[in-house]
Structure formats: C-alpha cells, structure tokens
Amino acid sequence: MPDTLSITASSVDAGLLTLPWSTPLEDWTSSNIVFLPKGISRHLVRFANLSGRVVAIKETTEEMARREYDMLGNLARLDAPCVDRVAVIAGRTDDHGDPLPAALVTAHLKFSLPYRALFTQVLRPDTATRLVDALAALLVRLHNVGFFWGDVSLSNTLFRRDAGAFAAYLVDAETGELHEGGLTSGQREHDLDIARTNIAGEIMDLEAGGRLEGGVDAVAVADGIMSSYRSLWAALTDQETFASDEAWRLTERVQKLNELGFDIGEMSIQARADGTKVSIQPKVVDAGHHQRRLIRLTGLDVEENQARRLLNDLDEFSARISRLGADEEMVAHEWLTRVFEPVVKAIPFDLRAKLEPAEVYHQVLEHRWYMSQARGRSVPLAEVLTSYIDDVLRHRRDEATLMGPATETMSLPVITGSVVTVDDDEDEQVDWRDLV
C-alpha cells in the first residue's frame, strides 16, 4: 500500500485498508470483486466485498470524489433517498509509483437494482410507467429540499420494489447542487427537461436492442415524467383559497397529502380582513408519512407503499379481532408477532434473498386475494403461503446480495399441517389458524 494513501471515511472500517488500492480498478481480481448488475456510468464502477457487505467503487478525480462524498452526506442529513457514502480514497499510486485515480466508495443498497435489471427480457408499458413515476417522485423529494440534480436519468437511479410500485434512490450526485433557499422554477424545469431527454434516449436504446415490448412509445414514456412530476409538485406546493366557512378544506388538504405519503410540518394561512376568504399553502412538507407511523407502531422500516399496505392489513386485523378501545401499540405488537413475523419466518432460508420481507408479505396478501377470487371463497393463509413459495417466489431471481455461506445456526422453517416450527427457536410455534 502506498505511503501517500489518504482515506476519508464516514465510519471506521479497517477493511478499507485491505483492498488493493495500488491496482487499477479494472484489474481487480475476482477475489475482490462482487458481480452484481449495474447501470450505465461515465466512470468505471465495480462492486467489492468490504467487511461482509457490498460497496460500489467509482474511479474519478479527487475533487469530484470529495464533492460527491460531501453531497451525499448533506442529502443523507436531509433524509433524501440516496445511497450511503462510505469513503474517499485519494493519493493512490501503482506499484511503479505512477498516480491512479481517486475512488469514491458508497454502500450497495440491498434489494435495489438498476432499471435494466428490473425486467428479464423486454420492458412492458406498465413497468416503464411505474419506473418513470418513481423517478418523478424522487425528483420532487430532491427539489423539495433544494437539490438540483443536473443529470436526471434512469441510469443514475436505483429502484427497489415497493408493493406493486417502485421506490427510487439517487445513486450519482456528482453533478448536483444544494440551494438553501430552494430552487427556482427555471432550475426545476431544467432538471425536468434533462430527465425527459435522458429517459427518451434510454428507452430508445432498449428499443434498438430489442428489449422494448411492441407498442411502447419511448417519447410518450419520457413525457410521462413531466405530468407525473407536475401533478405531485402542485399537490405539495399549490396555494389554495376557500371561503371562511369551509374550514374542512384545510383538513382535506392535509389528508390528501397524507395519502400521497407526505406530512406537513408547517402551513401558511392567510385570511382576508373581511373574513370572507382563507388561503393556505404548505411550507414544510416531509415524505414518509406511512413509514413513520409504521416505525412508531412496529419498528418496521420499509418503503412508503409497503408501509401503507402493511398499515391497511394492521387496521384490518384490528377490526377483525374487535378489541374496542385497545391501545394501538398493543394491537400493532400482536399483529407483528401473530401475523407478519410468522409469514416472514416461514420463507425458506435459501429463498430469502429473492425479495425483502415487506415485499414478500405484500405479495403473499396479493396472492391470497387472487386465489380467493378464483375459488370464490377465502383461502387459508397456510395454503396461500405454500402456493406462493412454490409457484411464485421459488421462480424469482435473487434481488439481495448474500455474502459467503449460509449460516449454520438457522434451519429452514418446516410447514407441517397448520403449524410452522422454526428450528432456531425451539420455544416458538405459530398456529396458522390464528391467521386465517
């Protein structure tokens, strides 16, 4: 290792010292590299194993690496959806003393994939629309905290499944700028124009490679980000005026934002001197309304749509057990231990890298609905789970990164009749009849 090596890290990790920084990234061997799907990048990017986790390493200039490292730290403090920074490696030289590019190290986002890896053969219209909608929501959240991206594209984004939709995360911030006073409409429109142009090019590239389903219009897909973004931005920021005797409109506005997944931290309210009109405009809007409620009740940290789906199931469970006046946190704990956790624990260990637990639970509920519709009756959850594991989950590809051999301390759950036994906890048995 060169004497001049400089490591700036967000947390202490001795594993950083063991990586072959004196070797150009393109020459790293398979003993250091983890092979994962990645998006298109102007820089060389490779994945590596670092202390049992996976990180992405990008070679760039020291100035750009430090700038992006700082930007990712600022975005994280603003709770913006982005990858986590790990380190900047500067002062690299090869074995002959010749300088090598600096490197930016970021954490790999588990269960996330670049857009090209989200479809196996061709991109269908509904998948394209959901990807663009997720990118529009990400752009709104970034603009809401004053971040100008400067290079909006599907390639610079990672996607995670989110209860039938997608959640988008910024993965490349090297062109970004933070403006404390917020963005002008011109800056926001410029980002939108960049997004539209880049998305159209990316979809056309898929079309040229035969990976676009017939009938998909690349320009129409790209135009979709404009309407999706503007609709959401208007819901978050537009001023609304109503008669003074229509105070319920204020509550309605808050509820609408909550349904979209946002909380209002502050609202500007102005009334006319004669009391005939009242104007309201949200001033501080935070994403993650359902996420925060689910974390508060259960401790589960999931995506926004997954949180909404799980909360709906929790509310249905509460109504089904009919415990009027019961403490909400107690009911949530009962749902967590009697319903959610048994489903997650019943997934065979070798299939747990397919999808994250909240997405599995959402898909089990969906599978139950389809089975019940087909049979014209409610299907027991134990039967649904067996069908889902064998007919759906087992045939999916892994979307998480698993390092090293499977642990020997946990055996696979064994389903026998109506009881699931988890071998790593001899005292735990779950009766599926409680979950029907």
pLDDT in tens, 279-327: 877 877 888 899 999 999 999 999 999 999 999 999 888 888 766 567 8
Are residues 419 and 430 in contact, defined by beta-carbon separation less than 8 angstroms?
yes
Question: Last residue of a domain, which of 42, 75, 107?
Answer: 107
Cα angle 54, 363, 359; round to 5: 30
Q: Are residues 138 and 161 in the same domain?
A: yes
Of 83, 107, 131, which marks where a domain is finished?
Answer: 107
Look at the chain and report how many structural domains it folds into.
4
DSSP 79-97: T-SBPPEEEEEES-B-TTS
For residue 129, count other CB atoms closer than 10 A to its CB: 15
Q: How many whole angstroms separate alpha carbon 400 and alpha carbon 21? A: 26
Q: Hey, which residues does 415 pair with through a beta bridge? A: 420
Between 278 and 423, the more confident residue is 278
> What is the predicted pLDDT for the residue at 304?
92
Residues 386-419: tens digit of each pLDDT: 999 999 999 887 776 543 333 333 233 333 333 3
**314 is in which domain, residue-wise?**
290-435
Q: Both 208 and 187 in a single domain?
A: yes
Q: What is the residue type of 219?
A: V
181 with 314, same domain? no
Same domain for 61 and 176, yes or no, is no
pLDDT in tens, 342-351: 999 999 999 9
Note whether residue 1 is domain-resident: no
Angle at the Cα of 419 from the Cα atoms of 414 and 422, rounded to 5 degrees: 40
Backbone angles phi and psi of 372, in degrees to 5: -65, -40
Give me the CATH number covering residue 83.
3.30.200
The overall average pLDDT reported for the chain is: 84
Cα separation, 257 vs 264, in Å, equals 8
| CB contact set of 314 (below 8 Å; sequence gap of 6+) | 297, 298, 331, 332, 335
Confidence of residue 130 (pLDDT cuts 50, 70, 90): very high
